[in-house]
Amino acid sequence: MNFKTSYDSDARIWKSESVEQLFNINKSIGAIALYMLRSKPRNAVCQISDSEGTELTYGTACSYAISVASYLKGLGLDCDDVVGIVGQNTTLLMPVLVGCWINGTPYNTLHPIHEEDDIRLLFALTKPKIIFCDGEVFYKVQNATNLLNVPIYTLCNHLEGVPRIQDILKPVPMAELYQAAPLKYGANQTMAIIPSSGTTGKPKAVCRSNCKLLSEIGHTDGSSILFSFSSPDWGTGILLIVANVLCGGTRIITTKPYTPEYLLEIITKYKVTNLTGSPHQFGDLAQLPGYTAEAMSSVRVIVMGGCHALPSVQSNIRAKLTHGVLVNSYGTSEIGGISLNYRDYKVDTVGRLWGGAQLKIKERVDGDIQKLMGPNEKGEIWVYTPTSWLGYYNNPEATADIMDADGWINTGDVGYVDDEGFLHLVDRSKDILKYMGFHYSPHEIEETIVSLPDVLDACVFGVYDDKDGDLAGAAVVLKPDSTLTESDIMSFLTEKLVVKYKQPNYGVFFVDTIARNSNGKLLRAKMREICLKIEKETGSKVLQR
C-alpha cells in the first residue's frame, strides 16, 4: 500500500488518490450480499459465537436473511421505513441486518448499554416500524418506545409471552429465486443509521448510505478470521459484518466484555487474522506476559482507531506482530475513514488521506470568518469524500451545523498536515470526550449535577489517561453552608446516569467559581488547569467550601 497525498497550493486543499472499489457502489448492498451468500458453500462456517457456543453457516445465514426480508416486505416496509435494533453481537443479529439490506430498509442500531432516555430520543427521531432487541433489555426498550406502539421481537434470552426472532425465521417458498429490492434512491440511499453524541448531550442518528457501506470494505478473503468487540452501532462493527458477508471468511463474535486476557484467548483459540479495536485495547493486550510472537502468529492486520495512539503503545504492539501490520486509522461516525498510517514511520500521526478523501485546514477568525491554512499550520479539520454524507436522520439543523453547502464536513478536530502529507491531530474533538471506547457529553453530566438543589454551577472536563481515555473531572460550586460531599454527588450520578463512562471517574472538585468567557461559555480547558493545579499544590480537590 502506498497512499499518496497531493497538495493544491492555490486552493489549499489536500487530496488523496481514488481507490478501486471491490463492488459496484451503484448496486444494492442487499443484492450483492444475497449473491455472495448464495455463492459460498452452504456448509461453510461464516460466524462463530464464542459466548453462545454457536456456529452459523453461509447457507443458514442466507436462509434466515431471506426470511427476515420476506417478513419485512410482508409488513409493507420499504426504504422509507426504519427497523430498530438494540442488541449485542449475538447469533441471529447478522441475518437480521442482512435481511434489512435485502429489503432495502435501513436499520437503526443501538447498543443495549444505552440508557432508556437515549433509546427514547433516538427512536423518536427514526421512528422504527418494528424493533429487535436482546431479551435482557426488552422492558427498557418497551418503556422507551411505548408511544411508538410497534412490535418488539427478542433476538436472544427470550421471555415468556414475548415475540421472538424465531417466529420470523420460517422457510420462504422458492427462496432460491428471491430477489433483493432495487435501490429507489440510487447509491446514496440510506442503509444504516448509527448513533452519535453531540455537544448538547442529545444523541443524533448518523446516516450511512449504500455506497458508503460498499466503499470501506477491508481486503479479506475466505481464509480470513475476523474479530472485534464492536457491535454494529459502531462503524467498525458494521465494517466487519460487510467484509464477512461480502468477501468471505469467518467472523468471531461475543457478548462477553473486553479484557486483554479475553482478547488474547480469542486470538489464540480461533487463530484470528484480522482485528479492529481501540489503542487502549491493544495497548493493554501488549502488556500481557502471554503476548508473544507465537500467540500473534496468525494475525495479518490490526486496525485501531477511535482515539490517539501513543508511539510507545504502537511500538509495544508491533514488537510481537511479526507476521502482520498495525494500521493506525482516523475517521468519524459521519465521514467514515479519513486517513491511515500503516507504517512504523511518523507514528505520532494518523497517516495520509485515502479513498479519494480531500481535506482543508481552517482557522476561525472573528467568529464565523474562516481562513484556509497551509502545510504545518494548525486549524480545524474539514473533509470531503466521494461518497456523500446523508446527514443526521430527521435533523437538518444539526447537519447544517457541521456540513457546508458544498458537502465539506467539519470533524471538530484540530490538527495540521505536514510537508509529506501526514495528518497530525493536536486537540480533542469539540467538547465530546471518550472513555474506554464510549463517547460521552460533559454537558449531560453537568446538567445532572446542577439538578442537585445544593449545586450552583458545574463544569465537566476530561483528564486524558493513556489506558482508558478521557476521565471526567467535575468542578462544582456549592451553595453557602452546603454539606454535600463528593460521595453524595458520585452516588447521585450513579443513580441518574447509571453507566460508568458517564461518571466523574477522575473525581469531583469543589471550587468558588466556574471560569467562563464573556458570552458565558464554559472554559473547560481553563477549569481543568485550575483543578489539576489545586490537586498538585494541595493534594486535595477542595479549593474552598
One-letter-per-residue 3-state SS of 222-233: CCCEEECCCCCC
Residue 484 domain flag: yes
Residue 387 domain flag: no
Range of the domain at 117: 40-48+55-181
Residue 297 domain flag: no
Domain boundary among 137, 153, 181: 181
Contacts 24+ apart (CB under 8 A), 347-351: 347/309, 347/311, 347/314, 347/315, 348/311, 348/424, 349/418, 349/422, 349/423, 349/424, 349/425, 350/422, 350/423, 350/424, 350/425, 351/3, 351/422, 351/423
Contact 127, 144 (CB under 8 A): no
Domain boundary among 126, 149, 181: 181
Contact 233, 333 (CB under 8 A): no
Residue 416 domain flag: no
What is the residue-level pLDDT of the chain in tens, covering all 545 positions?
557 899 999 999 999 988 888 899 999 999 999 999 999 999 999 999 999 999 999 999 999 999 999 999 999 999 999 999 999 999 999 999 999 999 999 999 999 988 899 899 999 999 999 999 999 999 999 999 999 999 999 999 999 999 999 999 999 999 999 999 999 999 999 999 999 854 344 679 999 999 999 998 877 889 999 999 999 999 899 999 999 999 999 999 999 999 999 999 999 999 999 999 988 789 889 999 999 999 999 999 999 987 778 888 899 999 999 999 999 999 988 999 999 999 889 999 999 999 999 999 998 765 566 799 999 999 999 999 998 899 999 999 999 999 999 999 999 888 999 999 999 998 665 677 888 888 788 888 998 998 999 998 899 999 988 888 899 999 999 999 899 999 999 999 999 998 888 999 999 999 999 987 544 567 888 899 999 998 988 887 765 44
Domain boundary among 181, 206, 234: 181
Provide the phi-psi class of 100: left if phi over 0, else alpha when psi is between -120 and 50, else beta. alpha
Residue 497 domain flag: yes
The cell for 341 is 498510517
What whole-number distance in Å separates Cα of residue 151 and Cα of residue 144? 13
pTM value surpassing 0.75: yes
Contact 195, 204 (CB under 8 A): yes
Q: For residue 502, what is the domain's CATH number?
A: 3.30.300.30
Residue 97 domain flag: yes
User: Count of residues for the chain?
Assistant: 545
pLDDT attached to residue 519: 43
CB atoms within 10 A of CB 127: 15
Q: For residue 162, what is the domain's CATH number?
A: 3.40.50.980
CA distances from 340 to 276, 307, 325, 336, 344 (A): 13, 13, 12, 12, 12
Instruction: Please state the domain count of the chain.
Output: 2
Contact 227, 275 (CB under 8 A): yes
pLDDT attached to residue 520: 53
Q: In a 10 Å sphere around its CB, with 0-12 CB exposed, 13-18 middle and 19+ buried, how is residue 53 labelled?
A: exposed
pLDDT attached to residue 43: 97
CB atoms within 10 A of CB 396: 10
CB atoms within 10 A of CB 4: 11
pLDDT attached to residue 198: 45
Residue 108 domain flag: yes
The type of residue at 203 is: P
CB atoms within 10 A of CB 13: 17
